[in-house]
Amino acid sequence: MLKRVLFTVCFCLSLLQGYAQELRDPNYYYALSAVSQDAKDCYAKLFDINSSARAFSILDSMFTVNKATQPFYIYLACTMLPEATGELRAQLNIVCRHLIEQDPTALTNVLFSKNSLVKSRYRQYWAHRVGVEIRVTCESDPLDCFKRSRNRALSNCNEASKDRLELLYNMIRQEMNLYRQR
């Protein structure tokens, strides 16, 4: 009987790991060995993100399968958005678009978090970066490229997060100045 209860509890916990997590207090992430030292140092502002390859490792970590640590990496990317220049800014454009299209639930959970660390302006920064990347890589009509990106994101988003994703894509559309088209 005890084995059955333990199995059920373990099974339920493993299911929860498959869903996007909310952003927690930084102390939680500092206590996790799974969070990289680069991420902890970035949060503590111990290096210049524009002159360190360490920033790029944080961006890579946004795509971790570890749903417990992913929100922290996404949050750190949000803090980089207004400060990034040069190569880091170009890389942020790419990863912002990739994350919104591939894991929109995790992204919207952070961007629309009630956590006091998350500023509403992060949504605008994210929308701007995605809009830039769509325009730069678009080889046809920008509105069509926008729609393809939005459709990819919606197909990868859970039902509970779709309204927030639509809000974000409305911001991207505005950033791209696509309201005057069609």
The span from the CA of 104 to the CA of 110, in Å, is 10
The answer to whether residue 32 sits within a structural domain is yes
The answer to whether residue 135 sits within a structural domain is yes
Per-residue pLDDT at 14: 36
The answer to whether residue 181 sits within a structural domain is no
Q: Give the helix/strand (H/E) hosting 28.
A: helix 26-31
Nearest to 108 by CA among 160, 170, 61: 160
Nearest to 131 by CA among 168, 166, 82, 156: 168
Average model confidence (pLDDT) across the chain: 90
> Is the separation of the CB atoms in 78 and 125 below 8 Å?
yes
The answer to whether residue 115 sits within a structural domain is yes
The span from the CA of 21 to the CA of 35, in Å, is 15
Q: Is 15 a residue whose pLDDT tops 90?
A: no
The answer to whether residue 180 sits within a structural domain is no
**What tokens appear for 164 in the block?**
């927030």
The span from the CA of 134 to the CA of 97, in Å, is 8
The answer to whether residue 145 sits within a structural domain is yes
The span from the CA of 69 to the CA of 134, in Å, is 28
The span from the CA of 85 to the CA of 81, in Å, is 9
Q: How many domains does the chain have?
A: 1
* Mean pLDDT lowest among 2-6, 40-44, 45-49, 117-121: 2-6
> In 3-state terms, what secondary structure has residue 178?
coil
The answer to whether residue 22 sits within a structural domain is yes
How does pLDDT run across 55-64, given as a tens digit for each residue?
999 999 999 9
How does pLDDT run across 72-97, given as a tens digit for each residue?
999 999 999 999 999 999 999 999 99
Q: Is 17 a residue whose pLDDT tops 80?
A: no
The answer to whether residue 182 sits within a structural domain is no
Domain that holds residue 69: 2-175
Per-residue pLDDT at 180: 62
Beta carbons within 8 Å of 165's beta carbon, 6+ residues apart: 100, 104, 108, 153, 154, 157
pLDDT > 90 in the chain, percent:
86
